[in-house]
Amino acid sequence: MIKALAVDHNGTLVHTIDLKNFSLDSYKMVWLDIYPEKDEEGRVLKDLFNFHHLAIEDCFHFLQRPKLDYYEGYHFFVLHSINKETMEPEELDVFLSEKYIVTFHLNKSEETDLLYEKMKQTKYMKSLTPNFVFYELLDKLVDFYFPCITEMEETLNSLESGEFRIKQIMKQVFETRSGLLKLKRTIYPMRDLLYRLLNSERVNIPKSERTYFMDVYDHLLKLSELISANMDFTAEIRENYISVNSYRANNVMMTLTVITTIFMPLTFIAGVYGMNFDNMPELRWEFGYFYVLGGMGFLSLMMFLWFKRKGWFDKDQI
């Protein structure tokens, strides 16, 4: 599918272009959005614009890192959008010159669809330049990043507020951290790309349009800070979870230690009087069994009270 938007020399917005008889000289500005459902639609890049074969290869082959390449008469950008379901990046390629902008994507792009509908209704033909369309595209891409970050922040806040069971916390933390890492691999290169664009002497951005690109760059900086802060947050939650588990394990070990300590003298007494020697006078006492049992009970009680006094049964003292 190829969508077209152009402004002719009379300032009229054109929605359809005959690609077979296409000539750039017939228009002041042209935007083609190519989503190649057929092979011949993909060949437009070579047949109509004669783009460099390396740039065309980047469009059709494996996912490229966001980048900017300079060619004679145009610039080639690799941008990333985000798949909201998988959090995986999807490539969006842009060929930008002073007279045209060509966007190319192998996956359906919600951002370009929304931008196309918006541009169709614009009333400001004079401001409709390739650079401005490129800014609007970048702005749409970045706007779609924010809901992903917001959703992860809400998940982390739910973890902190105790809405999840303890056993679910680590699973959610690792899933959220994995999503943040995926976003980081998209947003950080996009941020670096915008920095390079704004500081490049080979890309001509008029002063009147530079402010818009600065705004996109500021948004990417904010997103980078949010990712960094949320990754630190996941690390804190993980450390707190480990601390809580250690605290609980210490309580269990302390309880077991007290019980073991109380039973040690009892085991010793039982062991002594369990020996099978004939010459043991205590074995012939009429009430010897009750004396020993009472002594063991008294000893256990005294040890229990001593441990309690020392705070071993008070978990808040740990």
Per residue of the chain (318 residues), give pLDDT as tens.
Answer: 888 888 877 777 888 777 777 777 778 888 888 888 776 667 778 877 888 989 988 888 878 889 999 999 899 999 999 888 888 889 999 999 988 899 999 888 889 889 888 888 876 666 688 998 999 999 999 999 998 888 888 888 877 666 556 667 778 888 888 888 989 999 999 999 999 999 888 888 888 888 999 999 999 999 999 999 988 888 887 887 788 778 778 878 887 888 888 888 888 888 877 777 777 777 777 777 787 888 888 888 888 888 778 777 665 544
Pair 290, 173 in one domain: no
Do the domain assignments include residue 265?
A: no
Do the domain assignments include residue 255?
A: no
Amino acid in the structure at residue 131:
N
Pair 191, 277 in one domain: no
Pair 13, 152 in one domain: yes
Pair 304, 238 in one domain: no
Pair 184, 283 in one domain: no
Do the domain assignments include residue 268?
A: no
**How many domains, in total, are found in the chain?**
2
- Where does 86-203 have alpha helices with state H? 110-120, 130-160, 166-199
| pLDDT at residue 318, rounded to an integer | 44
Phi-psi group of 311: left, alpha or beta (phi > 0 → left; psi -120 to 50 → alpha; rest → beta)? left
Pair 98, 203 in one domain: yes
Pair 236, 312 in one domain: no
| pLDDT at residue 128, rounded to an integer | 81
State the CB neighbour count (10 A cutoff) for residue 68: 19
| pLDDT at residue 41, rounded to an integer | 67
Amino acid in the structure at residue 97:
S
Do the domain assignments include residue 147?
A: yes
Do the domain assignments include residue 266?
A: no
pTM for this one?
Answer: 0.75
Do the domain assignments include residue 254?
A: no
Which own/partner contact pairs does 6-13 have at CB distance under 8 Å and 24+ positions apart?
6/30, 6/31, 7/125, 7/128, 11/125, 11/126, 12/125, 13/120, 13/122, 13/125, 13/128
Domain containing residue 128: CATH number: 3.30.460.20
Residue 282 has phi, psi (to 5 degrees) of -65, -25
Q: Is 93 helix (H, G, I), strand (E, B) or coil?
A: strand
Do the domain assignments include residue 86?
A: yes
Pair 190, 281 in one domain: no
Q: What is the C-alpha separation between 80 and 67, in angstroms, rounded?
A: 10
Pair 154, 58 in one domain: yes
Pair 161, 65 in one domain: yes
Which residue segment(s) compose the domain that 236 sits in?
2-243
Q: Is 17 helix (H, G, I), strand (E, B) or coil?
A: coil
Pair 98, 204 in one domain: yes
Do the domain assignments include residue 257?
A: no
Pair 85, 152 in one domain: yes
> What is the DSSP secondary structure assignment for residue 261, as one 8-state letter?
H
